Amino acid sequence: MNALIEQFDLIATSTGGIAKLRELILSLAVRGQLVPQNPGDEPASELLKKIRTEKNRLIAEGKIKRDKPLAEIGEDEKPHELPVGWEWARFGEVILASDAGWSPSCDSIPREGDRWGVLKVSAVTWGEFRPDENKALPDHLDPRPECEVQAGDFLLSRANTEELVARSVVAWNPPARLMLSDKLIRLHLSGLIDKKLFCFINNSADSRPHYIANASGTSSSMKNVSREVILTLPVPVPPASEQSRIVAKVEELMALCDRLEAEQGHAARVQGHWVEAALDQLAESADADEFRRHWQHLAEHFDTLFTTPASIERLNATLLQLAVRGKLAAQNPSDEPASELLKQIRAEKDRLIAEGKIKRDKPLPPVTDAEKSYALPEGWEWVRLETIADIGTGTTPSRAVPEYWNPGEIPWVASGETGNPFISATTESVSTFALNDTSLRLYPVHTLVIALYGQGKTRGQISELLIEATTNQACAAIVPILGDPEHKEYIKQYFRKMYEEIREEAAGGAQPNLNVGKIKSVLIPLPPLAEQSRIVAQVEKLLALTAELKTRLSAAQTKQAHLAETLIAEVC
């Protein structure tokens, strides 16, 4: 216990440390390792006899129903050994009675004023009672006062996700006129035990295997536990005197966790303000010279400013933003302007069209002033992506035609494979027959592939082919007309900078989609070719520095987390 107190701050500041501390506190509490035992305490075996006597009296008085005998607890059901004076018992041995709630058909509208309401299952979660999680009882239905939640009720969720099913709370100060739903159960525990402690025990990691193993339900997201499952849970029972000492110590340590959590939150907010101010100053650099001055000042405080992966990602985003605004690399008046580069690209495109290698493009509307989101340096031009690249997509050959997939000779890219910067292999391949018989197109090495739709963060991701490959219809392939590698890399960097903006262009419901037309119309600020090379080199150099910073941060966090885990293991 002393080791825990001595290392409290170290564990708390590790990744997820406070959550680990809370879990550790409960684990120590229910194993009898949080407070010392007192040999003079009346043992739990005597407490259980008193509870049995109390039950028999209430049964004889007709106040509760006769309970069924519970099976002895087998050794394989006991997750750990107990201190002297403690006993294992079934939960049902300390529960006098139970009752469920009511689930009338009503809309999920919070009640107002003195109106009756029905608690939702979300009101009981992780030991925290949330009475605001309720729905209003319709006016045409009469309330059932016998289902009303009373102060001190021990409530348990009978139906919930696997993670939350059978979580319990003690409703110390419930508002009036709230009824239980039938997804909750009220347990009437013996007054001889501490409700708070048994809430800790029921919610502890030691109890989860019992509930998960015995929960019913075909859905992986929603499970149910029966009253019988609850009653048969093995629970550790400490002497009555020790129970109050345990609860007092748990509350003391949890309050310390709350304080540390608040302090960390405040420190994180202050840190965030400093990072925001530093990056704002960097982003407001008027030119490359001013950027260098700001960067030099920022670099002196890297390790104190950028202490989270999120802050480093924000730094990377700022660098890419500066790059495509012409503020990262110096301009050179002798550079051939982008207008001349566009003439070269047009000539190359006409040659490829004449040779039948790409389709003839239609004239594009000029870029209007309203479309230009910021002013460009001298020699730059706003262009639509279609002006400088050949853009296409792919398809999914019919699975009903085995010949399209066997033999798998040609790599076939799916949108999920754009998560890495480069694609050197694919999960699936198609046949040469599929390439010739469908609308598939074989794209060359160094083609850029952007995901048009997909789960999570997939939409808008960009990658680069290191192999010749086809794609499915959820990808857009970008083949720059000009074969210059720095030109291709500049386009790739621009799409990395535009990730969030590109995602916002998606349309649709449950799974918003981009399309090839939207990718073709993306506006790109095009620098002179020589400056593109300087920008690419500067971005790569600076992103290498931030990658090194992220690696150091990750290593430090891993080391601290490992140390915290070691300390936790020693405490246990």
Q: Which pLDDT belongs to residue 389? A: 96
Q: How confident is the model at residue 4 (pLDDT cuts 50, 70, 90)?
A: low
19: helix, coil or strand?
Answer: helix
Which pLDDT score is estimated for 110?
Answer: 77
User: In which band, very low, low, confident or very high, does the pLDDT at 58 lie, cut at 50, 70 and 90?
Assistant: very high
**Which positions ≥6 away from 91 have C-beta within 8 Å?**
198, 202, 230, 231, 232, 233, 234, 235
- Contacts of residue 152, defined as CB under 8 A and 6 or more positions apart, other chains included, come to 170, 171, 172, 195
Strand duo 128-129 + 124-125: pairing? antiparallel
The contacts found for 241-248 with CB under 8 angstroms, 24 or more apart, are 241/38, 241/41, 241/42, 242/32, 242/35, 242/37, 242/38, 242/41, 242/85, 243/193, 243/194, 243/197, 244/194, 245/35, 246/29, 246/34, 246/35, 246/194, 246/197, 247/194, 247/196, 247/197, 247/200
Residue 392 phi, psi dihedral angles, 5° rounding: -145, -170
Q: What is the pLDDT of residue 277?
A: 85
pLDDT at 560: 67
Strands 448-451, 462-465: pairing is antiparallel
Domains along the chain with CATH numbers? 42-238 (3.90.220.20), 366-525 (3.90.220.20)
Q: What percent of the chain has pLDDT over 90?
A: 54
Q: Is 411 helix (H, G, I), strand (E, B) or coil?
A: strand
* Chain segment 519-530, per-residue pLDDT in tens: 999 999 999 999
Over its C-alpha atoms, the chain yields an Rg (Å, rounded) of 33
Query: For 81-124, what is each residue's pLDDT tens digit?
Result: 999 999 999 999 999 999 988 878 777 777 777 788 888 888 88
Query: How many helices (H) and strands (E) in the chain?
Result: 18, 23
pLDDT band at 491 (very low <50, low <70, confident <90, very high): very high
Whole-number pLDDT of residue 439: 94
Give the pLDDT band of residue 6 (cuts 50, 70, 90).
low
Question: In this predicted model, what pLDDT tens digit does every residue of 395-432 receive, in sequence order?
Answer: 999 999 999 999 999 999 999 999 999 999 999 999 99
Residue 341 has pLDDT above 90, yes or no: yes
For 196-222, how does the pLDDT look when each residue is reduced to its tens digit (9 = 90+)?
A: 999 999 998 899 999 988 988 766 567
